[in-house]
Every structure is written in C-alpha cells, then in structure tokens.
Amino acid sequence: MTVRTVAMLTAGGLAPCLSSAVGGLIERYTEVAPDVRIIAYRNGYAGLLTGDSVEVTDEVRAQAHLLHRFGGSPIGNSRVKLTNVEDCAKRGLVREGQDPLHVAAEQLERDGVDVLHTIGGDDTNGTAADLAAYLHENDYELTVVGLPKTIDNDIIPIRQSLGAWTAAEQGAVFARNIIAEHTSNPRMLIVHEVMGRHCGWLAAATAREHHEWVKAQEWSGWLENDARRWDVHGVYVPERPFDIAAEAKRLRAVMDEYDCVNLFLSEGAGVHEVVEAMEAAGEEVTRDPFGHVQIDKINPGQWFAKQFAAQLGAEKVLVQKSGYFSRSAASNEADLTLIKRCTDHAVDAALRGESGVVGQDEERGDELRAVEFDRIKGGKAFDTSTAWFTELLADLGQA
C-alpha cells in the first residue's frame, strides 16, 4: 500500500499524552516518510464530520519536538460517537437523516486519507473500529491505527495506557497541597476524589505516589508537621467492596488520634449505590453520548463524605477532585519513553497497512503491537491483589 496522506485526531477527555503523541507521530513520519502529507482534524470526530482540518506544514514539523513539553491537545478534543446518529444531528455535526459514518467516510475520501491515527480511549478507538468496518464494507480501504489514552489505565488488553503514570504523579502533587488543609481546622475529613469510572488503578496509584512522598520526607514531628497526619488513611476503589460501618469505626480511631482523616476515593467507587439512591428519589441521572453516567453530576465524593462525616465526628469536611489538574499535565519521563515507543510503532504499522491499537498486549506476553480493534474493550478492572497495592494497604492499616 502506498501512503500519500495521513490524518490524525485526538478525542475523548484529556490525558497527559495527547500533545506528545501528536508530536511523536509528526516526528516519526518526518524521519521515515518525509514525503507523506499529514493533516489533523480539529476537535476529534467533530472536525472529521465537518471537514475542519489543518495541514502539518514544514514549520510545524520542525517545531514538533516542542509539543512534548505541554499537556492538553494541540488539535483539540470532543466526545463524539459516530454511531449515535441522534446526538450528532442534535449538535449540528450532520444533517437530519444523514449517517455520520457515511459523512465521515466521504470526508476522508475527499481528503484522500490513506491512514487515520486516532488517539483516545476505548470509546475513541471503538468509534475508529466502527468507521474502519464501515469503510471496508463500502470498498474504501483505510488503515486506522489508534493509540491508547486513558488516565484510568483501563483498556483491555493494553498493559499501560499512555498518560496514566503522569496522572498518578500529578494527582499526588495535588494531594500534597489539599492534605495541608488538615491544619486549617480540628477534626478535619479530607476526601480526595480521583478519576476512574470503572477502574481503581489511578486512585490506587495516586495514593501510593503520595504515600511514598510522605515516607521520603524529613518531618519535624512537631504538632501538625507529622507524617501520620499527612499520610493516606484510606483508599477506596470500585473493585474492592468495603463495609462502611467497619471502616467508620477504624477511621474514628484515626480521627481521635491524629485530629484528621485523609481518604483517596476512586470516583467509580459507590457509583452504583449513588445512582440507585438518586433514581429511587426520582432524580434524573445525566449520561453522555456513550451512555456513561456523568460522574461529575452525581458527586460520589460528596456522597461518601456524608456517609463518614457524622460517624467520624468530623468538624469540617473538604472534598476535592484532582481529575482536571492531573489529566491536563505534560507527560513525565516514564510516559515520554512509552509514547516514543508507541508512536514509532504506530507509524511503522501504518506504513505496513496494519490496523489496530498500539500498546503492550497483555494477552500476547506484553508484546508491543497493533492490537486488533475487535479485542479492544474498556472497563478493565484493577487487580487489587497486585503486590504494590496490598503492601500499601498493609502500610495504612486498612484491612
């Protein structure tokens, strides 16, 4: 297959890898196939549907290395599902009666695109799979190569999503300042709500990062400047049910001794219970175009804080969310290394005409490869038997 024009887009929520992944793709094409034309669709699939694209000029190619220094996406994002016809029409991305898959296919054909790179999570790459299948069925062959972006690290069967390590690191940076707030009031309950709809990996990894930071500091031990007051006292993830009454009893002892309790909560923990309670009360539960509950609208952190506050005898309660802070950061060194490996492989796979989502395939011995689209799924559960997590809980005294 001769590749003449390559297109790319980023979609879904932000992650600390989008800017670097875009830069990495441009750098690799410039290195191995400099004559290939590159365009970028602005604002994800919305730009594809409306034909809003920009050319990657020689000037952009020369400055692509600078994109590794930034968070966000240089080409914009959106949440658009091409098979959700009603939503696409409602947002003015297609006209009534149009099939968004057909509109996208026609746009790609007009633009002469041979390869489409999608950088996103399971929804983004699932949409890419729908598009690739539609194009194949209609005799327009297109190589689609995705890159796995989720801060939750929850894509099956990808070992490590791009940006997740950075998100955990940045969530811990956020936690340092938030937990300092325990000195502002006696009997303080702090709930640090971490992103993670179905998977608790990010909450667990963020808690570990903060716990390791606490262990590495020199503390005076005088009054509030004490490691035990600054540490994590509880970590709650969707994959690990817990007894609220039992935990309240344990944490009451922590509150009585240290005058504060610091909890790390995955936003997906307890969502089922919160949604049930809202629906039973006749309240509307808002969902996005993919059918997911909009977690920011139901505030699981507030719900958990309410369950614990009275039982702990908390005088003041603070609930803070690190998601937007951590997901918009620039990639750290670990992620930059992984992004470089994945973008290089993605370009090489594209030039071979090999479609899929590039990542370490857990079901193939962690081999870095283009994983078949029909094997890509979201909602990978965090393995709570992982050694570093069980060691963390043991350190915290959480059964």
Q: How far apart are the first and last CA of the chain?
A: 57
DSSP helix/strand/coil, 5: strand
**374 included as an active-site residue:** no
The encoded tokens of residue 373 equal: 């689209």
CA atoms within 13 Å, Cβ hemisphere of 305: 22
Alpha carbon distances (Å) from 249 to 241, 313, 398 = 16, 11, 12
DSSP helix/strand/coil, 100: helix
DSSP helix/strand/coil, 263: strand
361 burial level (CB within 10 Å; 0-12, 13-18, 19+): buried
Q: List the one residue out of 123, 31, 120, 117 whose CA is nearest residue 73.
A: 120
Q: Could you give the CA distance from residue 89 to residue 98 in angstroms, rounded to a whole number?
A: 8
**Contacts of 87 by beta carbon, 8 Å cutoff, 6+ apart:** 80, 81, 289
Q: Could you give the CA distance from residue 340 to residue 371 in angstroms, rounded to a whole number?
A: 17
Residue 47 burial (CB count, 10 A): 24
The encoded tokens of residue 230 equal: 């600054």
Catalytic residue among 114, 152, 154, 361: 152
Catalytic positions are 152
